[in-house]
Structure 1
Amino acid sequence: MSTVSVAVVIVAAGLGTRLGHPVPKAFVEVGGRSLLAHAVDRVVQVPGVDQVVVVVPDAFVEDTWALLDTPLLTVVSGGADRTASVAAGLSVLVEHVDVVLVHDAARCFTPPDVFEAVVAAVRSGDVAVVPGLPVIDTVKEVDADGLVRRTPARASLRAVQTPQGFDRVTLDRAHASGTSATDDAALIEALGLPVRVVPGSDLAFKVTTPDDLDRAHAVLTTSTTTTSTTTTSTTSRSAR
């Protein structure tokens, strides 16, 4: 079996105005490090990743090269919207990449095993794969006047996350179509191709509002405390 090469395009070009910070969202810090740096930390733990492309606002390209320390890194300027930013990332992929993951820097605590599950599904033959969680709220579809049109069956709904994984040829084809969408899976859907959903993670939440940023601080604090406790316990047992 031939080796499959994986690249991850991290979209970090949004301004994140709802977060209320003077710097773009991906550069807001949690625990002394940017959301983008936390995201890259997890990406480089994923086996088989050969290239990490970070798409940032033009004014932050040089800062990003200095901020991130990995030999896998490529940094490019973003476009006018998310689709254009992803296209900018795709344009600098190395030739041998077969599988492309598109990830939001704002989902900075997504565990490496979610990435691995997405990659495994693409390697198994799915052209597009997204992680998702069951929707726990009842969702209503409403019209322009605010009137309910229908209530979708909750069991069939998923809250979709990133990374979203794709066969490279299929994703290139989707972007060549000229369609714009809020996520890349929608571009694949527009081609009439199937999109597989695999289990996501509660840790893959998206930092969008100040409340989300508070949650990110809490997650990092909990993670740090757990790691410290485990290390102390291991050291104590070793000293006996």
Structure 2
Amino acid sequence: MPKAFVPLSGEPLLSHCISGTLASGVATRIVVAVPEALVREARVLADRAARESDADPALVDIVVGGADRIESTARALARVPECEHVLVHDAARALTPPAVFHRVVAALEAGAAAVVPTLPVTDTVKRVRTGRGADAQVDPGTAGEELVGDLDRNLLRRIQTPQGFARAVLEEAHALQRRDPDPAATDDAGLVERAGHTVVGVPGDERALKITYPIDLAIAAFHLEEEPV
């Protein structure tokens, strides 16, 4: 099933994500992009999350997502033409604390064009030479990998969401992507950087982990039990 609908402690990640965004108090509108077959289910979840947060369900809009994250963001962006600042969030980071939202918004209001929450890298990180070309994709640990040197982790950061943007900057970056697609692009901050704008970091939070593997659900459940969003 799509990750946003995977249950965490009895509620889909999407429900936790909407509730956390509403709890931050920074959102004047929320637009959720989902597969077409799940629009009705998403609407039910959004209405319930809004009611439980004492918010107007009309605050949350549902749109049919695109073929990838970037296209989904573009479709959601089209639904909020009145917004000067835009936050792009990932339902897989369902437990992002309100303080992270506040730090991103504060940086935007201080004049930043693009803002991302960051955390330090604690593991040793190495580059890999596969012998299959620079763009070859291989699973970690695949036989034949050659580890060719450490990267300075003091100069590396883990990136979280919500990512915040001045609307005009995000629209410019998406227009460039449509004219000249970069197949390696994975997030909106990368598109904005490619368009020549500076992306600044603010402190993230370990509770905003990206839920990707089953063990991440267990870690998220622990965080939720210790400190509910």
Of 197, 200, 215 in structure 1, the residue corresponding to residue 201 of structure 2 is: 197
- Give me the whole-angstrom Cα distance separating, in 2, the residues matched to 1:190 and 1:115: 24
Q: Tell me the residue number matched to 2:29.
A: 51
Q: Tell me the residue number matched to 1:153.
A: 152
- TM-score norm. by structure 1 comes to 0.80
Tell me whether 1:29 sits opposite 2:1 in the alignment: no
- Give me the whole-angstrom Cα distance separating, in 2, the residues matched to 1:127 and 1:149: 36
Write the deviation string for residues 77-117 of structure 1: whole angstroms up to 9, x where unpaired.
11111111111111111x32111000000100000110110
Q: Tell me the residue number matched to 1:12.
A: none
Q: Tell me the residue number matched to 2:140.
A: none
- Give me the whole-angstrom Cα distance separating, in 2, the residues matched to 1:39 and 1:89: 16
Shift of 1:147: 3.1
Q: Secondary structure of 2:225's match? A: helix
Q: Secondary structure of 2:24's match? A: coil
Shift of 1:149: 4.4
Q: Tell me the residue number matched to 2:169.
A: 170
- Give me the whole-angstrom Cα distance separating, in 2, the residues matched to 1:39 and 1:167: 22
Of 86, 102, 116 in structure 2, the residue corresponding to residue 116 of structure 1 is: 102
- Give me the whole-angstrom Cα distance separating, in 2, the residues matched to 1:185 and 1:144: 28
Q: Tell me the residue number matched to 1:212.
A: 216
- Give me the whole-angstrom Cα distance separating, in 2, the residues matched to 1:202 and 1:96: 32
Identity %: 45
Write the deviation string for residues 106-157 of structure 1: whole angstroms up to 9, x where unpaired.
1000001101100110111110000010000111122333334442211111
* CA RMSD, Structure 1 to Structure 2 (Å): 1.5
Are the equivalent residues in 1 in contact too, given 2:189–2:199 (CA < 8 A)?
A: yes
Q: Tell me the residue number matched to 1:91.
A: 78
- Give me the whole-angstrom Cα distance separating, in 2, the residues matched to 1:36 and 1:186: 24
Shift of 1:218: 1.8
Shift of 1:47: 2.9
- Give me the whole-angstrom Cα distance separating, in 2, the residues matched to 1:153 and 1:205: 22
Q: Tell me the residue number matched to 2:19.
A: 41
Q: Which runs of 5+ in 1 are unaligned?
A: 1-22, 228-240
- TM-score norm. by structure 2 comes to 0.84
Are the equivalent residues in 1 in contact too, given 2:26–2:101 (CA < 8 A)?
A: no
Tell me whether 1:136 sits opposite 2:135 in the alignment: no
Q: Secondary structure of 1:87's match? A: helix
- Give me the whole-angstrom Cα distance separating, in 2, the residues matched to 1:191 and 1:149: 31
Q: Tell me the residue number matched to 1:221.
A: 225
Are the equivalent residues in 1 in contact too, given 2:86–2:167 (CA < 8 A)?
A: yes
Q: Tell me the residue number matched to 1:76.
A: 63
- Give me the whole-angstrom Cα distance separating, in 2, the residues matched to 1:46 and 1:217: 20
Write the deviation string for residues 9-30 of structure 1: whole angstroms up to 9, x where unpaired.
xxxxxxxxxxxxxx22111111
Shift of 1:60: 0.5
Q: How many residues align structurally?
A: 202
Q: Which runs of 5+ in 2 are unaligned?
A: 48-56, 132-144
- Give me the whole-angstrom Cα distance separating, in 2, the residues matched to 1:82 and 1:48: 22
Q: Secondary structure of 1:75's match? A: strand
- Give me the whole-angstrom Cα distance separating, in 2, the residues matched to 1:144 and 1:165: 35
